[in-house]
């Protein structure tokens, strides 16, 4: 039996090729632009839960098709800071022009951790990509939590953390997009308190739920008091053995689970243009 045949047998008919031992898998042979039957949607959701981020190549997804695809897995949600596409406010354009030096979200993070109900998942579709560079890194927060010592797990189990949208590094990463595309709807709270260790609502597994872009301090502590432990966790959670790396090309789609992963778009393609469309799916209150 060939390696591909074994993959198909093990995954219920999906051609799933893992990118790394930690997380991430490419799924081949699926056209996401048309109607998907319930069995295929269930298999793709299972793959997402198993691998935390799944990738598809050579897709043709106009904004309407991207929204329809996202709606098969959850409720598309409007991004609060950047105006969506005309006629498709739930589709956020993510654009870095050739003359820009800062990229959108260019820091390790999980999407919208500053909301009371952070995003469950995100779909990002590539329209125009640089000849080289512009990859995205992903990190597995199950593994980050499980690699901690028992003593650290006990310490973190009772902690909650304040997450905010206006930490300087992440705020600067979206400033150019807001200037060029216009602000979003606004009017939403952009600070929330969440458990430092959350349980995934579908798998039940525990994951580390802090990130350098949004986590400010522990509840009941000052920023100075929180900084040493948070600094350790921020470095620990992106150790190379917890990560995978994805190289984009036009027509690629990434679909990731924000409840147990981080991502980091690398800003290494100055002088080249990159255009993506993003849809986030509404989530629940972390517990």
Q: What is the pLDDT of residues 112-140, one digit of tens each?
A: 999 999 999 999 999 999 999 999 999 99
The reported pLDDT for the residue numbered 1 is 41
Please determine, for residue 214, whether its predicted confidence score (pLDDT) is greater than 70: yes
The reported pLDDT for the residue numbered 9 is 42
* Residue-range definition of the domain harbouring residue 113: 77-281
Q: What is the dihedral of CA 224, 227, 229, 234, to 10 degrees?
A: 170
Mean local confidence (pLDDT), 100-112 = 94
Using pLDDT thresholds of 50, 70 and 90, give the confidence band for residue 184.
Answer: low
CA atoms of 13 and 105, how far apart (whole Å): 35
Residue 20 inside a domain? The answer is no
CA atoms of 237 and 15, how far apart (whole Å): 29
What's this model's pTM, rounded to 2 decimal places? Answer: 0.93
Phi, psi values for residue 137, rounded to 5°: -95, 145
- CATH code of residue 256: 3.60.130.10
Please determine, for residue 175, whether its predicted confidence score (pLDDT) is greater than 80: no
Q: How many structural domains are present in the chain?
A: 1
Please determine, for residue 4, whether its predicted confidence score (pLDDT) is greater than 60: no
Residue 70 inside a domain? The answer is no
8 A C-beta contact, residue 145 and residue 200: no
Residue 45 inside a domain? The answer is no
CA atoms of 108 and 10, how far apart (whole Å): 32
Residue 58 inside a domain? The answer is no
8 A C-beta contact, residue 50 and residue 255: no
Using one digit for the tens of pLDDT, what is the confidence trace for 235-282?
999 999 999 999 999 999 999 999 999 999 999 999 999 999 999 999
Residue 90 inside a domain? The answer is yes
Residue 16 inside a domain? The answer is no
Please determine, for residue 6, whether its predicted confidence score (pLDDT) is greater than 70: no
Mean local confidence (pLDDT), 17-31 = 98
Using one digit for the tens of pLDDT, what is the confidence trace for 35-49?
999 999 999 999 999
Residue 66 inside a domain? The answer is no
The reported pLDDT for the residue numbered 182 is 65
Residue 195 inside a domain? The answer is yes
Point out the residues that are catalytic.
109, 111, 263, 278
What average pLDDT does the structure give for the chain?
93
Cβ-based neighbours of 25, under 8 Å, separated by 6 or more: 16, 17, 18, 19, 47, 50, 51, 53, 54, 55
């Amino acid at each position: 039996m060939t390696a591909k045949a074994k993959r198909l047998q093990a995954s219920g008919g999906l051609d799933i090729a893992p990118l790394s031992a930690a997380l991430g898998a490419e799924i081949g042979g699926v056209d996401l632009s048309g109607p998907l039957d319930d069995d295929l949607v269930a298999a793709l959701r299972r793959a997402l839960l198993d691998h935390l981020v799944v990738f598809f190549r050579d897709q043709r997804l106009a904004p309407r098709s991207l929204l329809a695809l996202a709606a098969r897995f959850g409720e598309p949600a409007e991004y609060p800071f950047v105006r969506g596409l005309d006629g498709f406010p739930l589709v956020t354009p993510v654009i870095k022009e050739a003359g820009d030096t800062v990229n959108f979200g260019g820091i390790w993070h999980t999407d919208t951790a500053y909301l009371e109900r952070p995003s469950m998942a995100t779909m990002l579709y590539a329209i125009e990509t640089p000849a080289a560079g512009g990859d995205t890194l992903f990190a597995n927060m199950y593994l980050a939590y499980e690699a901690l010592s028992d003593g650290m797990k006990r310490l973190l189990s009772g902690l909650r953390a304040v997450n905010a949208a206006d930490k300087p590094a992440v705020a600067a990463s979206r400033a150019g997009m807001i200037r060029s595309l216009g602000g979003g709807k606004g009017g939403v709270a952009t600070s929330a308190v969440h458990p430092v260790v959350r349980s995934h609502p579908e798998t039940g597994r525990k994951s580390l739920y802090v990130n350098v872009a949004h986590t400010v301090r522990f509840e009941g502590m000052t920023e100075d008091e929180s900084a040493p432990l948070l600094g350790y966790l921020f470095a620990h959670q992106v150790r190379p053995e917890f990560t995978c790396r994805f190289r984009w090309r036009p027509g690629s789609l990434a679909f990731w689970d924000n409840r147990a992963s981080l991502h980091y778009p690398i800003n290494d393609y100055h002088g080249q243009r990159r255009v993506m469309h993003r849809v986030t799916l509404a989530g629940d209150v972390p517990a």
